[in-house]
Structure 1
Amino acid sequence: MNILILEDEIPAYQKLINYMNDVFEEEFTHDIARSNSDGKKFLQENTYDFILSDIQLLDGISFDLFDEVTINCPIIFCSAHDEYLFKAFNTNGIAYILKPYSKSDFNKAIEKYQSLFNQGNYNQLNSDTISNLKSALKEENTSFKKRFVIKKNTGIQLLNVTDISLIEASGDFCIATDKEGKRHTISQNLGSLFQQLNPTKFFKINRSEIISIDYIENIENHFKNRLLITVTGTKEKPMTSSSTTADFRKWLEQ
């Protein structure tokens, strides 16, 4: 069995490999592409039993790749996009795993793929399906979180997303720092909160911190391929992890 993985995040790629090693009894080979351009080369030169694909790659959305290259095998999408895309995938009978996913979620997606494919009910991607998925993605991208309701001792306050400079994980909650340096507790974990933010405005620089591009004041090189970032509203300088630095640089230039 030969598999193509389209995933720009290395930790997510490693997670998929670990799950596949546990799920598949037979041996498998795979290729990894972090961009549409690399994925196109692999698809032109190889054949695959199925594809595991994120939606957002380093150079654009994978839908553009599937619109350009004819795909003759099933695709399982793995993405943080929710609501509109989730409905669109289900409507078109396409297996979909919502990030952050568990091993159980992965197993269910594989079972769905096997069931649909074995019964001959798997719908291959065509131009109409891709167009529907792009429309769903566009609709979802217009519905990012605009404000958070913050409960405080003095009552309920509204925190506009445009005023947030830094978000830090704090157990099952998050602490959001605004441009004035005030800190606000949000009753959500970092992963859930990040999915609601516009990815062109916010970047998860490490496992526990998200920053806003609108409040980056300065960036310094640091050891082990890391970057120290001066952010409006906080004296502490958040730091990229070595695994996110390259993607962070590309995000800054988009």
Structure 2
Amino acid sequence: MNILILEDEIPAYQKLTKCLDRFFDIKITHDWGRTIVDGEKFLKENSYDFILSDIQLLDGLSFDLFNKIKIESPIIFCSAHDDYLFQAFNTNGIAYILKPYSQDDFDKAIQKYQSLFKKGDYNALNSNTINALKSALQEENNNYKKRFVIKKASGIQLLNATDITLISASGDFCLVNDKDGKRHTISQNLGAIHQQLNPKKFFKINRSEIVNIDFIENIESHFKNRLLISMKNYKEKVMTSSSTTSDFRKWLEQ
């Protein structure tokens, strides 16, 4: 069995290969690409039993690759998106693995692919389906949090997400700095807030801080594979953790 894996994150790729080894009791070979360019090269030169593909690759959406090259192989998408895109996958009968996933989640997605393929119910991905998925993704992006309600002693204020420079965890709530250097309190934990923000604009650089790319002034190297970040209207520098630095560098280049 020959499989193509399209996944830009190295840990995610390694997890997929482990899940494959645990599921199949036959010999498996695979190719791995992190970009649309990689995928196009592999697909022009090889055929695959099926494809495991993330949606966001280093140089764009895998949807654009599958729109460019006619794909006969079944595709199982590995996605951190839910809501609109989740519904679109279900509507079009597409197998998917929702990140973060367990071995059991992975097994069910492979079994779905096998069932569809065995019954002849699998339909090759076409441009109409791809456009529907891209539309669902755009709709999902449009539904990220646009503003937060801030309760003050003087009353209620609205803080636009686009005006947030930095978010810091503080127990069960968060301290939020805005573009004018003012600090506000939001009664949600960092994880809950992170899920509501547009990942193209906001990045969780460590366990307790999220930065907005539009307000990064300077980035410098630090010891132990970390980066020091200077934010507009914020006196102290913030730092990536050693485990997030690699993904942060990729995120900056999107």
TM-score by length of 2: 0.85
What runs of 5+ residues in structure 2 fail to find an aligned partner?
none
Question: What residue is the counterpart of 1:184 in the other structure?
Answer: 185
Question: What residue is the counterpart of 1:54 in the other structure?
Answer: 54
2-structure distance, mates of 1:205, 1:111 = 36
2-structure distance, mates of 1:105, 1:241 = 29
1-structure distance, mates of 2:193, 2:186 = 12
User: What is the deviation of 1:50?
Assistant: 0.9
Question: What residue is the counterpart of 2:174 in the other structure?
Answer: 175
Distance 1:14 1:238, change over 3 A: farther
% identical equivalent positions? 68
User: What is the deviation of 1:53?
Assistant: 0.7
Query: Paired residues, what number?
Result: 252
1-structure distance, mates of 2:67, 2:223 = 41
Question: What residue is the counterpart of 2:75 in the other structure?
Answer: 75
User: What is the deviation of 1:63?
Assistant: 0.5
2-structure distance, mates of 1:24, 1:235 = 54
Kindly indicate whether the alpha-carbon contact (under 8 Å) linking 1:181 and 1:234 is maintained by their aligned counterparts in 2.
Answer: no
Distance 1:238 1:22, change over 3 A: farther
Work out whether 1:202 is the aligned partner of 2:202.
Answer: yes
2-structure distance, mates of 1:56, 1:153 = 43
2-structure distance, mates of 1:31, 1:168 = 40
User: What is the deviation of 1:6?
Assistant: 0.9
User: What is the deviation of 1:183?
Assistant: 5.3
User: What is the deviation of 1:225?
Assistant: 4.3
Distance 1:174 1:110, change over 3 A: farther
1-structure distance, mates of 2:3, 2:156 = 50
User: What is the deviation of 1:148?
Assistant: 3.4
Q: Within 5 Å, give how 1:38-49 maps onto structure 2.
A: 38-49=38-49
Distance 1:143 1:224, change over 3 A: same
1-structure distance, mates of 2:21, 2:155 = 51
1-structure distance, mates of 2:152, 2:102 = 34
Measured against aligned partners, the alpha-carbon deviations of 1:196-219 in whole angstroms (never above 9, x if no partner) come to 322331123346543101221221
Measured against aligned partners, the alpha-carbon deviations of 1:104-147 in whole angstroms (never above 9, x if no partner) come to 32222122112111111112101111121122122222221112
Q: Within 5 Å, give how 1:108-123 maps onto structure 2.
A: 108-123=108-123
Kindly indicate whether the alpha-carbon contact (under 8 Å) linking 2:151 and 2:157 is maintained by their aligned counterparts in 1.
Answer: yes
Give the residue type in structure 2 aligned to 1:110: I
Q: Within 5 Å, give how 1:108-187 maps onto structure 2.
A: 108-149=108-149, 158-168=158-168, 175-179=174-178, 180=181, 182=183, 184-187=185-188
Query: Which moves more between the two structures, 56-65 or 20-29?
Result: 20-29
Counterpart secondary structure, 2:229? strand
TM-score by length of 1: 0.85
Kindly indicate whether the alpha-carbon contact (under 8 Å) linking 1:50 and 1:74 is maintained by their aligned counterparts in 2.
Answer: yes
Question: What residue is the counterpart of 1:63 in the other structure?
Answer: 63
Distance 1:70 1:169, change over 3 A: farther
Query: Which moves more between the two structures, 147-156 or 73-82?
Result: 147-156
Whichever of the two has the greater Rg, that structure is 2
Measured against aligned partners, the alpha-carbon deviations of 1:22-77 in whole angstroms (never above 9, x if no partner) come to 22222212221111001111111111111111111111100100011111211111
User: What is the deviation of 1:78?
Assistant: 1.0
Work out whether 1:32 is the aligned partner of 2:24.
Answer: no
2-structure distance, mates of 1:104, 1:154 = 51
Kindly indicate whether the alpha-carbon contact (under 8 Å) linking 2:168 and 2:210 is maintained by their aligned counterparts in 1.
Answer: yes
Kindly indicate whether the alpha-carbon contact (under 8 Å) linking 1:164 and 1:176 is maintained by their aligned counterparts in 2.
Answer: no
